[in-house]
Structure 1
């Protein structure tokens, strides 16, 4: 099942709950994996972010009754969050839960794990992470997906920098010596053009 992803830049006067939900779920019927999709919240405020997430997931997965997180990246973990007329209990596990994963429980259907993409992630990296998290052949944990995306981001930046440096040098940038035709080069007196005396 896939939910629509809308990439909208954050506007400062809008609350996270009024911004479009950024969520992608693995296709229905795929074999169980380490994550069932990816969620890219607009902030690290669970009280503001969870209502829109669970409102979308309730009709798909059954009423979400409990959510757990690793508090590493969540400054405040509320005990309960009101969602569409019911309460969702929120808990946390520091050592037992991947810091980049959100675990959702439904009392009627089961459990789902979502990769949580950090809110400050760039759009291209977030899109790559959402695609990787919903790939039926994926085998990485949530933190493994984040590490892989960071590796690709750094490699892309390094490639971009080296390309710019090559262009800079080719166009006479720093380190490039001015090119003068061989016939005009001055040869010091008493030396042969080949460098010998």
Structure 2
């Protein structure tokens, strides 16, 4: 699996998983996105925030390979590859993020206007003092029918 060039900063949306368990979180994400983006064939993550990295997952009856990159991929981003629609970059909002912060991040990552920013830059802007205070535990309210915010396909801020 190859990663996008280091200068690639555009985000196609955001993903707010329920946990840090990729084995449980990736199949529903890919399953929801396949009707929109085509068959997902590979997923790449940076392992910094994921305690367990599966080599493959099963999605809609087929295998999706999962790879990881420590220096080539922003630790706050996930890359999904589709044979029909190309690569898709999603900001990963930490599962423990409080609702107001998550809403701001979902909106910022899916906005089709304004300056483009890296996933890490968006996360740093959300916590300007460098502390995790913006990500304190809070009540999570998530839509059951959406896993991500593709900028071109969804206009409202929802999360899985």
Q: Same fold by TM (over 0.5)? A: yes
* TM-score scaled by length of structure 2: 0.73
Using the TM superposition, give the Cα deviation of residue 121 of structure 1 relative to its aligned residue in structure 2, in angstroms.
0.5
User: Residues of 2 paired with 1:72 and 1:109: CA distance?
Assistant: 27
* TM-score scaled by length of structure 1: 0.60
Q: Are residues 1:105 and 2:89 paired?
A: no
- The ranges of structure 1 where at least 4 consecutive aligned residues each deviate by more than 3 angstroms after the TM superposition are none
Using the TM superposition, give the Cα deviation of residue 138 of structure 1 relative to its aligned residue in structure 2, in angstroms.
3.6
- State whether residues 124 and 130 of structure 2, in contact with CA within 8 Å, keep that contact through their aligned partners in structure 1: no
Using the TM superposition, give the Cα deviation of residue 107 of structure 1 relative to its aligned residue in structure 2, in angstroms.
1.3
Q: State the partner residue of 1:37.
A: 13
Q: State the partner residue of 1:69.
A: 45
- State whether residues 15 and 92 of structure 2, in contact with CA within 8 Å, keep that contact through their aligned partners in structure 1: yes
Distance 1:153 1:72, change over 3 A: closer
Q: State the partner residue of 2:100.
A: 124
Q: Are residues 1:54 and 2:30 paired?
A: yes
Bigger relative contact order (CA 8 A; separation at least 6): 2
User: Residues of 1 paired with 2:125 and 2:86: CA distance?
Assistant: 29
Q: Mind listing any 5+ residue stretches in structure 2 that lack a counterpart?
A: 1-7, 135-160
Larger radius of gyration: 1
Q: Deviation per CA, 1:15-60, whole angstroms, max 9, x where unpaired? A: xxxxxxxxxxxxxxxxx96100000001011110011111111000
Q: State the partner residue of 1:142.
A: 119
Q: Mind listing any 5+ residue stretches in structure 1 that lack a counterpart?
A: 1-31, 158-197
Please, what is the CA RMSD of the aligned residues? 2.1
Distance 1:130 1:98, change over 3 A: same
User: Residues of 2 paired with 1:152 and 1:73: CA distance?
Assistant: 20
- State whether residues 132 and 138 of structure 1, in contact with CA within 8 Å, keep that contact through their aligned partners in structure 2: no
